[in-house]
Structure 1
């Protein structure tokens, strides 16, 4: 009996190259989402990051509306909304409306990290203290609030001895699927306790995945939302017709992640040709090589086999690919052909 076909999905940070405007980057992501839709990918998630020169994914609900409107069938969601940055009611309202507009196609992935620097965190709260310790410590309560507010029956809020009912939308007939996301044990335990789907950020952390998934699966308690554990794997991928080109295309993103992890200044994503001119200290080269070894980089057959091996290793039947292939000099600013090629080649 043959193994079941691996379900593929997409994670998009809406990367910004040095030759792109924000409008160009969004246009390239819309084209990428349409490619994923046509190829049969299961879902397309956008991240939340702020004040970064190479990332235009600052507002998941806005991007989700744009991408869902530009596609036909693919599920569209957040990977994820950083809940301490926002009032729970605002998130519930935004995603209730997205679900009303695109019923059965919306995922709400929720994370606990701020997704930015402390100054921007402060600004996100309109100068009212930023992502305070209290907001982070109340994360489980905020998750409960979002779940309850999107329910058709709403949630009761007690104010001055009276109960007021809050609805995220007046007449909900369905709700988005809610996922908890994380890169540590915390969210794995919380998702298990609340009986919610869970995703560990393997593409970012690279280690600790097996332990987090084991904590989630062994501690899972069935809930009205879910009767058994549900998870998938996230992976950075660069795929081309030959392995040498795939590695060339991955180099700009590898150098950007290296800068992030070593505290270097960040910039817009450079071209393949610019990245190839960079000479790194030996210690940094070793760190870059270690990151590359955890990514899926290569020609199609090898890349597909590696995805299948990772899925089997972690006991999942879905892999969410972050297509990290960069662009050569002279590429149309409003397009990301190497990212689209990665999706096409992985889909077979």
Structure 2
């Protein structure tokens, strides 16, 4: 099995943004040294517990701090941006770190409606227009990053448009989604695809089946390529892992119930404010989809998930919280999750 990492760059109640970025650099180095295949960074906006607002900048930071691991976006929310801007950013990243960059593209806003409007209005259109044009946006990004570029017709004349003047390669483009829309689009375009199992947990098998059954080979890819994403906390004992998972459980419950969002709590802060009884069914439903436990148990669960969904790669989202007194610019429990899994599976 291959293992990869998804990082939202969480910001704890004891951290500044600078601290959170330092912790991500350290976590990426652990993944690189332990033999993980990819390190992807998400795009979310206007959230007090998430510093992953700009994947291209984060990718440049992480790629420069590591040696071997592939670094990419999980993903860029393309309707938020002009396609040429994304093509230019990732063409430059590929030129700087050839063979190590992945461009994962999603269709969701990654934020609240007001922030989404601000982002998408700046990208050249209203929110609905940007979403409707998503398939053409994907095609444009792929073509613009290619060495031959794309021809853009304006006033009856075709103008050459290249994301960078002398590309020799371009990063692979992945489509990401939590519904069947991106699965069908990835299949039709012959692109690799990832279902957001760590976020949704429902419909994974159906989306992957749609993708595999409808896949059309392309110059990019001869056969379907996909993997699984999952929230993971691993510690010396299952009891300790459950304790470290509590801040993230509470953060996700707040997100799904419309409660005020806040920086991620420390473990002791989460323990002092238990989940209300009314929200326990939601917590239990999340727990069934997450992998939380000691190393042997967690490794067995990941093997079972990989077998169930027919994948040879799993992307783990390490969501372990931090204890009071943890150095602000580090995330030792997240690092330990990666190290313990690597010992069992890599």
SS of 1:260's partner is: helix
The structure 1 residue matched to 2:155, chosen from 150, 153, 160, is 160
The structure 1 residue matched to 2:218, chosen from 213, 223, 238, is 223
Alpha-carbon deviations, 1:67-104, whole Å to 9, x = none?
00000000000000000000000000000000000000
Aligned twin of 1:78: 73
Aligned partners of 1:281 and 1:61: how far apart in 2? 38
SS of 1:109's partner is: strand
Alignment of 1:45 with 2:40, yes or no, is yes
TM-score by length of 2: 0.98
Alpha carbons 1:85, 1:130 under 8 Å: kept: no
SS of 2:26's partner is: helix
SS of 1:73's partner is: coil
Moved segments of 4+, more than 3 Å:
125-131
Aligned twin of 1:28: 23
With 127-136 and 276-285 compared, the bigger mean Cα shift is at 127-136
In the alignment, structure 2 segments of 5+ residues that lack a partner are none
Alpha carbons 1:124, 1:130 under 8 Å: kept: no
The structure 2 residue matched to 1:320, chosen from 315, 319, 322, is 315
Tell me the CA shift for residue 118 of structure 1: 1.5
TM-score by length of 1: 0.97
Aligned partners of 1:284 and 1:195: how far apart in 2? 41
Aligned partners of 2:153 and 2:123: how far apart in 1? 23
SS of 1:303's partner is: helix
- Residues paired across the two proteins, number: 343
Aligned partners of 1:263 and 1:297: how far apart in 2? 25
Alpha-carbon deviations, 1:210-253, whole Å to 9, x = none?
00000000000001100100000000000000000000000000
In the alignment, structure 1 segments of 5+ residues that lack a partner are 1-5
- Report 1:173-184 matches (<5 A): 173-184=168-179
Aligned partners of 1:336 and 1:130: how far apart in 2? 39
Aligned partners of 1:138 and 1:111: how far apart in 2? 13
Tell me the CA shift for residue 278 of structure 1: 1.6
Alpha carbons 1:96, 1:172 under 8 Å: kept: yes
Tell me the CA shift for residue 129 of structure 1: 7.4
Aligned twin of 2:328: 333
Aligned twin of 1:260: 255
Alignment of 1:15 with 2:10, yes or no, is yes
